[in-house]
Amino acid sequence: MLTALILATFAAVPPSKVDPSTLEQGYTLRTYEIGRALDRVARVAEDATPNADRLAGRISFKDIDELCPAGTARNQIAIEAVGFIKAEVAGKYEFELRCDDGGMLSIDGQQVIKHDGLHPPSPKEGSIELEAGLHAFRIDLFQNEGGAALILNWRTPGAGRFELVPETAFFTEAGVTRVVAPGAKVYKDGRENMRPGDGLPIETVHPMFKVEPLRPEGFQPKIGGMAFLSDGRLVVSDFEPMNNGVLRAETNGTLHILSNVVGGTPATVTHEKLPGGYHDPCGIVEFEGDIYISHRPGIDRLRDLDKDGTFETHEEWARPWIGDNYHHFSFGLREKDGWIYGTLSTSIYFGNTITSDGVEGDTTGLNGPNPPNRGTLYRINARTGEIQWIAGGFRTPNGVEVAADGQAFVTDNQGAWMPASKLNAPRQGRFYGHYNGRNKCRAFPEGAPASLYSENPPSPPAVWLPQNEIANSPTNPLIIRSGRYAGQLWLAELTLGGINRISLEEVAGELQGCAYRVGNGLEGGVQRLIEGPDGCLYAGSIGSGGNWNWRDTRFGLQRLRPTDAKVFEIALVAAEPDGLTVRFTGEVDDAWLRDPSHYTLRQWRYEATAQYGGPKLDEEDVPVVEAIPGKAGDVVRLVAPSIKPGRVVYLRTAPTSRTGERIWSAEAWYTMNAKPTADAPARRYDAKPVE
């Protein structure tokens, strides 16, 4: 499934709850680059993507070369081993952890051994009572400088001596996508000076929303798409994600229609499962009383010809593309003026897929061959069937929105040719950076076709979404219709969870803008976010094995009802010829606003390569020369002339309002594709929803 990933940790699971059929032999070994001195065992920040991730057999590493894969950092790193360990019989199990530097062993969430501090290879013992069966285990290790070691021995009930835990005792979740990301990660050893909203994702729901449950008892949808029908009912697609590279022949998705959703509760909402099966249905839209569903082979249509509220006709409405890889998703859908907009993702190739498809050559960044028109934004005329290919060069564009002026917005996920996730504002005939693999294979003996419009130079995104800072797997954008942020966009997020916000402005004829954290606290990572006829937001969640989930959540459906709560936060960051203007939602003392030291600015650029993801390049601090408050006390202009075009500009500022409120989120990320000038200033772009 989508492979911009979070760290999947193994929760303590009772042995009876572990399904052995979902596991394979071995355990997961991950490495994280920290990039600063370490002297105590801790964990990386939640949702961080590892620098290296592999399936391992035994925990027996006697030097740094064994422990760390070639080409990865050797010093100032954190390492974790996670999986399940099998106890053949119940009883007392004694463990010996031999490590260099500090390490900690936990089983079923209980600390068994903590051998902390800077030290050469040395052992420490601990014991735990275990029932027969599988138990979640985790080892955390830090490596500061010099040599390294990690060995796990045990003495099972009745045994006379310690011995290495055998390879046959370890299990881990099968068929996961092991994707990594470069760059330093946050290490939570008490010196990171971070809190949710200030260096970490926000853990709770934004006070502007009240979260209300919707799911009837026993209904646990893994939502791919959502749409309200004109009669007020809610239709959702539900499917079981697969993340193992295998192209399924059988369908895995269904549709449900929910009644009494608006104003309803779990006790009053009812759901009806519709007949028919679908392949990964990830988009739904209603037009003129018909339901359109996008899935791997194309778009299907359901019709209620006698208008009795029952959709009795199911047809294969459009088949304009080929989906012959497990990662060939069809996302969307949105409608404007009778045109249905959607997006197509590109392939991912693993060893089993490479063999079965006869792919030749290297598939750098997991990026293999594709049929024509994969990685595109398209639209199809619902009345005539005409298809138009609008833009190309997308990788995993899991979300599309269309404004009243025809401007589309498309998210994309980090991967090959994508150093970080992003929000695009596509225009006709443009290319957005992802070059599909041209490998020869059984389907394309002369080589696979190029990405659509790839003869054109890549266009930059409207907004970069720095990986694991503000996003990891962005899903659908949604125009904000009303309130303080009308004209901006909500942006749903799956693996970091929750919702973000985007403001846009036009500079040099192109859209660029800023990303802000909003909040989380939902029951799953958000795959689809829509607005209902009651003005509430409706969030649908999904998750799969491995890493494509938010903290191992797999389903969800909730309503976010707007409240009257006022929250002190960054409302808007706008570009100026010599810096930035920052607007808050409340007033701040003039003296505080005037102090340049209260603002941290950094900038960097990205460079797309065939590798999966990419680091920040040319990262540097940006001096704030002067801070000039506005008269109202809620705005400040930051004079920072060294900001460069073609950069992501990071802002951190943490004021307290005049009424004593701490800022909700202290960070924002502005994409400065071009700098405005005095003669051509930035113009605010307010997206208008399609009515």
Contacts of 6 (CB under 8 A, 6+ apart): 46, 47, 48, 49, 468, 472, 473, 495, 496, 547, 549, 550, 551
- List the single range of 5-14, 467-476, 662-671 with lowest mean pLDDT: 5-14
Closest by CA position to 511, among listed 376, 608, 409: 409
Centre a 10 Å sphere on the Cβ of residue 536 and count the other Cβ atoms it contains. Answer: 20
Q: pLDDT confidence of 118, banded at 50, 70, 90?
A: confident
Domain with CATH 2.60.120.1560 in the chain: 15-192
Could you give the CA distance from residue 600 to residue 624 in angstroms, rounded to a whole number? 8
Give the mean model confidence (pLDDT) for residues 14-32.
84
pLDDT value of residue 11: 42
More confident residue, 76 or 8: 76
For the chain, how many residues are written? Answer: 691
- List the single range of 62-66, 411-415, 435-439, 536-540 with lowest mean pLDDT: 62-66
What is the fold, at CATH topology level, of the domain defined by 570-685?
Immunoglobulin-like (2.60.40)
Bridge partners (DSSP) of residue 172 are: 24
- Give the phi and the psi of residue 579 in degrees, each rounded to 5: 160, -135
pLDDT value of residue 245: 82
Could you give the CA distance from residue 488 to residue 486 in angstroms, rounded to a whole number? 6
**Bridge pairing between strands 199-200 and 195-196:** parallel
Tens of pLDDT, residue by residue over 510-554, are: 999 999 999 999 999 999 999 999 999 999 999 987 678 898 899
pLDDT value of residue 615: 84
Closest by CA position to 34, among listed 192, 150, 179, 200: 192
Could you give the CA distance from residue 288 to residue 186 in angstroms, rounded to a whole number? 50
On the CB side of 674, CA atoms within 13 Å amount to 18
- List the single range of 37-51, 180-194, 434-448, 522-536 with lowest mean pLDDT: 180-194
On the CB side of 245, CA atoms within 13 Å amount to 18
Give the mean model confidence (pLDDT) for residues 438-452.
97
Give CATH superfamily name and number for 216-463.
TolB, C-terminal domain (2.120.10.30)
Q: pLDDT confidence of 190, banded at 50, 70, 90?
A: confident
Closest by CA position to 536, among listed 302, 352, 263: 263
Amino acid (1-letter code) at residue 640: A
Contacts of 435 (CB under 8 A, 6+ apart): 367, 393, 417, 450, 451, 454, 610
On the CB side of 64, CA atoms within 13 Å amount to 17
pTM (two decimals)? 0.83
On the CB side of 113, CA atoms within 13 Å amount to 27
The answer to whether the peptide bond before residue 405 is cis (omega within 30 degrees of 0) is: no
What top-level class would CATH report for the domain 15-192? mainly beta
Give the mean model confidence (pLDDT) for residues 461-467.
96
Tens of pLDDT, residue by residue over 193-249, are: 778 899 888 989 999 999 999 999 999 999 999 999 999 999 999 999 987 788 999
Q: pLDDT confidence of 176, banded at 50, 70, 90?
A: confident
Domain with CATH 2.120.10.30 in the chain: 216-463
Average per-residue pLDDT for the chain? 93
**Which tokens go with 657?**
């309002």
Q: pLDDT confidence of 494, banded at 50, 70, 90?
A: very high
Give me the residue label for tokens 């590493």.
61
**Which tokens go with 42?**
């801790």
Q: How far is CA 98 from the centre of its chain?
A: 36
Contacts of 431 (CB under 8 A, 6+ apart): 391, 392, 393, 451, 452, 453, 454, 455, 456, 457, 458, 459
